Structure 1
Amino acid sequence: MKNLFYALLLGMAVSESSAQSKQQMTPELLWKLGRLGSENITADGKSFIYSVTHYNMAEAKGENMLYRIPAAGGQAVAITKEPGSRQIIKVEPDGNVIYFFEDHLWRMDQNGEHVTKLTTQPLADADNVQLSPDGKKIMFTREVLVVKVQGKDRYPDLPKSNAYVFTDLNYRHWDTWEDGKFSHVFVADYDNGKITNEQDIMANEPYDTPQKPSGGAEDLIFSPDGKSVIYVCKKKFGKAYAQSTNTNLYQYDLTSGVTRNLTDGMNGYDNNPAFNKTGEKLAWLSMKEDGYEADKNDIVLMDVKSGNKVNVTAQWDETVSSFKFSEDGNRIFFVAVKDGTEQLFQIDLRLRVAPGSPQAIRQITHGQWDVNSIAAQKGNTVYVHRTDMNHAAELYAVNTANGAMTQVTRINNDIYDGLAMSRVDARHIKTTDNKDMLAWVIYPPDFDPAKKYPTLLYCQGGPQSALSQFYSFRWNFQLIAAQGYIVIAPNRRGMPGHGVEWNRAISGDWGGQPMKDYLSAIDDISKEPFVNKNRLGCVGASYGGYSVYMLAGIHNKRFKTFIAHDGLFDLKSWYGTTEELWFANKDIGGNYWDKDNKTAQRSYDKFNPSNYIDKWDTPIMIVQGGKDYRVAIEQGLEAFQAAQLKGIKSKLLYLPDENHWVTKPQNALVWQREFFNWLKETL
C-alpha cells in the first residue's frame, strides 16, 4: 500500500511537471483557434469539403476558408485562396463544388481550381440559397417590406426620418427593432445560369422564414422529386406572435401554387424538416406545448402518401437535439443530451415495436464528450462534430456497430500539442431533496491536491439549456481553469439529459430548488481540502446572471465575489421590456398585475432578486449588452446602481453594440480581460 502511495505521488509530480512545461490557455490563444463550420461529403464518400473560420483580431472579423480532407482522415488541403463567406450549395457527383458567394452561384473542382461563375445576374440580398434536386429551380430567402413601420416608409417625403411607429407588440426581437421587413421564401426558374420567374411564395404575409434569430437553411427544403417546398413558419403577428411558439411546416406545391399546413393542430415548435432519400417519409422535430420553448423535443415521422404521423420518440424520457435519416431510410440517427453529455443515438424503423417505443432506440456513443451534430452517413459510418471541455469542434467518424470514434479533422492540433489540458471530473452530489445531481469539476492544468485553490460556482443560462461537454469561446472552462481556478458546474434542476421531469422542474420555481441545488454544489466541493473556502466566487449569464443576483442575497457569506452577465435583476421591469413573452409566461408564471395568479405572484415576490438587495454585501461585477432585448439594459443598470448606492465594490462592463452574447472579437477579449482582472482584485 505504501509503495502504491508513493507511485501515485510520483505520477502526480510527473504529470504536474509535464503540465507546467506546456503553454497555458489565454484569452488571446483561445481566439487563435480555428472554428469548424459547415461540411459536405462527396458523392463517393471519400472526402469532405468543410469550412474553418479564423479570427483576425486586428481587423476584428472572422475569415472563412474552405478545405478538403479524406473522409478517413489525413492531410487537409485549402481549396480557397482568399477568405470569404462561401455557402456550399451542393457537391456534384463528379466532385465539383457549387457554392454561393458575392450574390452569385459559382462552381469549382475539389482542388479549388477551374472556378466558374454560373449565374448571369446577381441574386441581390439573397440568403439560404438552394437548388432543386433536378437543378431547374432555385430557392432562397430575402427581406421584404410588408408593414410600414419606419417614418421614411410611412411618409415618403421624409426620407431622412428615423422614427418608428408601433401599434402592436413584438416591436423588437433579440437585438433588432422591427422595421416592417420580413424574411420570405422565393422560388425561381434556373436554366443555364439564368434566373427567371422569381416568385415570393409567402405573398404579402408579415411572417418570417427562417425563424429569427437562429433559424437557417434547415427551415426550408425541396422535396426529393423537386415538385414542392417545405418551409417552417410561425404565422402569427403582434401580441399573438410574442406569446406563442407555434411554428408549423407548410408545403408549397410548385405547380399549383397551393400551400398546405402539414402540422395543423400541432401547437408547439415544429421545425427541422427532412425527407428520406426516396421522399416517401418526412420527419421533423416537434414540441407539444404552445408557449414552452424547452418542451420535450420529439421526432415525428409522416408517411407522405397517407399523411399518417407517428411520434417515434414519444415514450423515450429525454429530448432530441437534431437528427438525420440513414441513406437507406431504415434508421434515424439523432443527437440528444444524456447524463451531462451529448451522444449519438439511432432509431431502427424496421423493428416491430409499439410506435414511439424506447425499445427501438439504441445509444451508439458513450464517453465524456459532446456529439454536437451529424454531418453525414456512409454505410456503417456516421460523421459527427465532437467537442469536450478541452477541445473545440472537430469532425469524427463513428462506427455505428460499436460506437468507436476516429478523428478526421485536426484543425487546432498545432496549438493543442503544446497546450496544458485540464482534468475534468464528473461529481455526483446529493441535493437538499435527496436527489442525485451531476456536476462537472474542471481543475487547473497543473493541479496539485496538496495546494488550496480559489473555486468558482458556474451558473448555466437557459434556464433549460444543457450543461454538457460543450466548448465555448466565452464561458470557456479550460481558459478559466488555466488562470488557477477550480470550476464546479452543476446540472441543477431544469437541464435536459436527466429525464423530462428534471428538465421541467425549473418552470415556475426559478428561485426555489435550483438555488438550493447551486448551494449544494458549492458546499459539496468545499469539503475538499484543496478548495480554499475563503476564496469562493459565483459567475453566470442570462438565467445564470439571474442566479448570481439571487444568490447574492441568500448565500450567507459563502462567496467572496460575483460576476453577472445579462442577468435578470428585477422581474417586474424585465416582464415589461422583454420580447418573447411566451418565455416569461411559462417560466415565471405570467404578468405581475394578475393578483390571482399564485405562481406569478410567488415569482415576483419570493424569486425576485431585487427584493433581496438589502442583503447584498459582496463585491459584484455586472456585464450588460446594449442591444440585448431579451434581458434589456435596465436590468444591468438597476443592479449596478443598487450596488453603488449601497457602497458595495462593483464594476459595470457595458457593451453598447452587443446583444445577449458577445460576438465581436475585440469586445470578447475585453470581456475576458475584465473578467479575470475582477477575480484577481476580489478573489
Structure 2
Amino acid sequence: MMRLSCIGALLLINNMVVAQGKEVPQKVERPQIENRVKTINGGTPLSPKALWELGRVSAEGLSADGTQLIYGVSNYQFDENKSEKNLFVVPVKGGKVRQFTSDAGGETVLTIDENGNVLYMFKGQIWQKNLNGSDSKQLTDYEGGLENVKIAPDGKSILFSKAVLLKPYHSVDKYSDLGKSNVYIYDNLDYRHWDTWNDGRFNHPFIASYTDGKIGEPKDIMEGEPFYSPQMPFGGSEDFIWTADSRSVIYVAKKRFGNDYAQSTNTDLYQYDIATGETRNLTEGMSGYDTNPSLSKDGKILSWLSMKTDGFEADKNDIILMEASSGRKVNLTAHWDGTVNSFIWSKDNKKIFFVAPSKGTVQLFEINVAKGVWSKVLPKITQISDGDFDIAGIVGETSTGLIVTSTKMTRAAEVFDYNFKNKSIKAITHVNDAMYSQIADTKVESRVTKATDGLDLFSWVIYPPDFDPTKKYPVLLFCQGGPQAATTQSYSFRWNFQLMASQGYIVIAPNRRGMPGWGVKWNEQISKDWGGQSIRDYLSAIDDLSTESYVDKSNIAAVGASYGGYSVFMLAGVHEGRFKSLISHCGLFDMTSWYGTTEELFFANHDIGAYWDKNNSKSYNEFNPIKHIDKWNTPILIFQGGKDYRVPIGQGLEAFQAAQLKGVKSRLVYLPEENHWVLSGHNAQVWQREFFGWLSETLK
C-alpha cells in the first residue's frame, strides 16, 4: 500500500496526488530491504545481504617483472559468520585468472622474488609457492606463530613482532597464587585502548637468524621497554623495515609511558644496529607522528610520513627524506596545501608517487625528486589522476604505469592499471562484476552549496536506482565521522550510500569543515569548533538540497557515526524542525563525561580541551549535545558498542535514557561484543535491519 501524508483530502489519480485542486509530485514507495525481485534498470536494488556477498579484494603484490598480479579475495560465509580469504594470480595486461591458494585460513603475501617464488603467511607460518603453480611448501614451524614478518634483504635474518609481558596489570600476573582471579590494577593512564584493556603486554620487534625456514634464537630489540612497536591498536609490519645492507632495523615507536603516552602523538623512527646493539633516534626534535618508513630503491634515502604537531592526530601529513650518508633531511611536501595518505618510490629513484584527498575524492600525485631535492628549490607536485573515483592505494610500478586499488561509492575495491601515457585506469580484477551486473545502479552527482560564511561547500548526492525527478523522495543527510576524515568515493560495507539509495532514499554527503582535500585551513577549522561551522555546513547542505522539487521536506533524516553521531546529537537540539528522524552510532553525547572516559587523550586535548579549563567552556556548553536536550523532540535511534573505548558505552546510554525520560520516541541497539565499528557479519545484518527498519517507522 502506498503511504501518503494527509493534507486535506487526497486522491490518487493517474499516479499523481491531487490536493486542493493542485497537482503535487507523488511520494515514492521504498522497496523492502531484502527485496531481490523487483527489477530496476536491468537490476535489483542492493540489499544488506547482497552487500556482504561481494568479494573483498586486496592487492597482495606484483611479480618482479611487473607482469603478474597476486591479489586476495575474502568471501563472507553467512552460515559460519566468518570470512575466507584465498589468493589469485592474473596477468596485469589481461588474461586468465588462476587460483593460487585454496586452503581454509587466509593467506597474505610477504615477498615475490625474481624467480617467481612467493613467500606468504598462512596460519602464523611462512609458506612458499612459485607463481607457476607448483605445490606449496611450509618453511617455518615457529611455536606460537609469527606476526608482521619482514625478511632481511640478504635473506639471512628475519624480523617479526610479538607481545612481551612487562607490567603485571592483570591479577593473575601480579599474584601467581590467584590464578582464577580476574582483576586489573593501574597506576597510570593507557589502561585501555580502542577495544582492549591493557594487560601489561607490549608489542616488540624481534630479530633472529633465518636459514631454510629455520629461525634462530630471537632477540628483543626493545628489551625491557614498556613501549609499543608496532603501534597500538592498528600498527603492523609497516612500522618497521630492514636497511638495505641488512645490518640495521628501523622501527616506529612512541617511547612514552602511562599519562604521557595517552596525551602524545610523538612517535619517532629508531635505528637499531645489530652488531653493536645500539639504538639511535632518527627523528629527534620532530614532535608529531613519524610513521611508515621506507627506503628508496637504491637504499640510500630513508623516507617517511610526518606530522608536525604533537597531539594533533589529523595534522598535515608530509613526506620527509633523509640521506643515509649525511643525515640531512628535507620536507618534500611542506609547500603543498594538502595531506598525504601513502606513497612509494619509483623504480628509478627519480619520482615519488603518493595518494591524497582531493576535492571529494582520493587521487594520485607525483613528485620529481631527480634534481635539486636537497637544495632550496621546491619540488614540483603534480596530480596525475582525476575522476569520480578514489585511488585507495598503490601496489607497485610497471613499465607503463602503476598498479592501484580503486573504489567508487557504487563499486567495491578492485585492482586497476593506471597508465602514465593516457592517465587512465583500467580494471585488472573483476571479482564483483557478475554481482554488480545484477544490481540496479545508483546515480552519484556532485553539488556545491554556499556555506554561511560564503565559501563553497561540496557534497556528493546519491539517488535511488529508479530516480524520477517528478516524484518526491525522503532524504538522508550523512554526517561523517573523524572529525577530520574525508567523505570521498570510498566504499563502505556498513555506511554504504548505494545501499541507502537502493532502499528509496536520496543521500547527501557534505564535505563539511574538517575534511581533508580542500586545503589545510579547511581541515583544521573544525578543531575547538565541533558544534560551530561544521554543523552550519550540514544545515546549509540539506537546506540547499531541499529547494529541489523532488525532495520530500517532511521526511528528512540525519544519520552518522562517531563525530557523525555527535553531529546527529547536536542537530537534535538545533535543527528547528528540519529532520523527522535521527540515527546516531557511537556518538558523543556529553563532552564532559566523554573526556573523562575516552582513551586517546591527545585527540581530546587538541580538539576539545580539558573541561576544567575555562578557555574550553564553549566545547562543554554551546557545543555539548547534552546542553540542548531541552529541545529534543525528534525520534532517534542510538547504536552503541559495548567494547567501544574511544566513545565509551555511557555516551549512548546517557542519550537513550534522556530521550526516554523526555518522552521522545527512541530505541537503543546495544552491541556488547562490538567496538567503535561492527565487525561481525551477523551483527552487521542486525545493524542494517534496525537502521532501515527505523527509517521505515519514522519516515512515512
- Indicate whether the TM-score tops 0.5: yes
* Residues 542-557 of structure 1 aligned to structure 2 (within 5 Å): 542-557=562-577
Q: Tell me the amino acid that sits aligned with residue 197 of structure 1.
A: E
How far apart are residue 419 of structure 1 and its match?
1.4
- Is there any run of 5+ residues in structure 1 with no aligned partner, and where? 1-16
Given candidates 170, 178, 184, the residue that maps to 1:150 is 170
Q: Give the superposition deviation at 1:636.
A: 0.1
Q: Distance in 1 between matches of 2:230 and 2:90?
A: 31
Q: Is the 8 A contact 2:442 2:464 kept in 1?
A: yes
Normalised by the size of structure 2, how large is the TM-score?
0.93
Aligned to 2:401: 381
The corresponding residue for 2:10 is: none
Counterpart in the other structure of 1:591: 610
1:257: which partner in 2?
Answer: 277
Aligned to 1:682: 698
AA in 1 matched with 2:661: L
2:94 counterpart residue number:
73
Q: Which residue of 1 aligns with 2:647?
A: 631
Within the candidate set 630, 643, 651, 1:614 is matched to 630
Pick closer, same or farther for the CA change 1:447–1:359 going to 2, 3 Å. farther
Is the 8 Å Cα contact of residues 641 and 649 (structure 2) preserved in structure 1?
yes
- Work out which of the residue numbers 27, 42, 51 in structure 1 matches 2:63: 42
Q: Is the 8 A contact 2:60 2:108 kept in 1?
A: no
Report what 2:465 is aligned to. 445
Shift of the 362–608 alpha-carbon distance from structure 1 to 2, 3 Å rule, reads same
Residue pair 2:459, 2:541 contacting (<8 A) in 1 also: yes
1:272-283 paired onto structure 2 within 5 Å: 272-283=292-303
Tell me which residue corresponds to 2:358.
338
Question: Which residue number in structure 2 is paired with residue 92 of structure 1?
Answer: 113
Question: Which position in structure 1 is the counterpart of 2:22?
Answer: none
1:106 aligns with 2:127: yes
Q: Deviations over 1:624-643 (max 9, x none)?
A: 00000000000000000000
Structure 2: segments with no counterpart, 5+ residues: 1-37
Q: Secondary structure at the match of 2:688?
A: helix
Deviates more, 1:566-575 or 1:414-423: 414-423
**Paired letter, 1:81:** S
Are residues 1:673 and 2:689 paired? yes
Alpha-carbon displacement from aligned partner over 1:418-463 (angstroms, at most 9, x marks no partner)? 1111110010000001000100000001111111000010000000
Contact preservation (8 Å) 2:116, 2:132: no
Amino acid paired to 1:188: A
Q: Which residue in the other structure is 1:12 paired with?
A: none
- Map residues 41-60 of structure 1 onto 2, 5 A cutoff: 41-60=62-81
**What is the letter of the counterpart of residue 258 of structure 2?**
G
| Displacement after TM superposition at 1:101 (Å) | 1.8
1:528 Cα offset (Å): 0.3
Matched residues in 2 for 1:112 and 1:293: separation? Answer: 44
The AA in structure 2 aligned to 1:640 is F
Match of 1:568 in 2: 588
- Residue of structure 2 aligned with 1:372, choices 392, 398, 410: 392
Residues 128 and 20 (structure 1), Cα distance of their counterparts in 2 relative to 1, 3 Å cut: same
Distance apart, 1:75 and its partner CA: 2.7
Counterpart selection for 2:448 from 428, 432, 437: 428
Matched, 1:61 2:77: no
Structure 1 segment 460-475 matched on structure 2, within 5 A: 460-475=480-495
Q: What residue is the counterpart of 2:48 in the other structure? A: 27
- Check conservation: 1:313, 1:356, Cα contact below 8 A: no
Q: Deviations over 1:375-408 (max 9, x none)?
A: 0012331111000100011111111233111111
User: CA–CA distance in 1 between the matches of 2:523 and 2:318?
Assistant: 14
CA contact (8 A) 1:229 1:252 kept: yes
1:66 counterpart letter in structure 2:
L
How far did residue 594 of structure 1 move?
A: 2.1
Q: Hey, what's the Cα distance between the residues in 1 that align with 2:650 and 2:601?
A: 17
SS across alignment from 2:40: helix
Summarize the alignment of residues 171-190 of structure 1 with structure 2, pairs less than 5 Å apart. 171-190=191-210
C-alpha contact (below 8 Å) 2:330/2:374 kept by paired residues: no
Contact 1:97 1:110 in 2 (8 A): yes
**Contact preservation (8 Å) 1:220, 1:231:** yes
Shift of 1:116: 1.4
Q: What's the CA shift for 1:354?
A: 8.6
RMSD: 1.3
Query: How many correspondences in the alignment?
Result: 662
Query: What's the counterpart of residue 578 of structure 1?
Result: 598
Q: Residue type of the partner of 1:68?
A: V
What is the CA distance between 1:224 and its match in structure 2? 1.8
How far 1:134 sits from its partner (Å)? 1.2
Change beyond 3 A, Cα 1:612–1:358: farther
User: Distance in 2 between the 1:176 and 1:22 partners?
Assistant: 43
Matched, 1:640 2:656: yes
Matched, 1:602 2:621: no
Q: Which residue among 548, 555, 575 is the counterpart of 1:535? A: 555
Aligned pair 1:163/2:183, yes or no?
yes
Question: What's the counterpart of residue 505 of structure 1?
Answer: 525
Q: Which residue of structure 1 lines up, in the alignment, with residue 428 of structure 2?
A: 408
Q: Is the 8 A contact 1:315 1:357 kept in 2?
A: no
Deviation at 1:359, TM superposition (A): 5.5
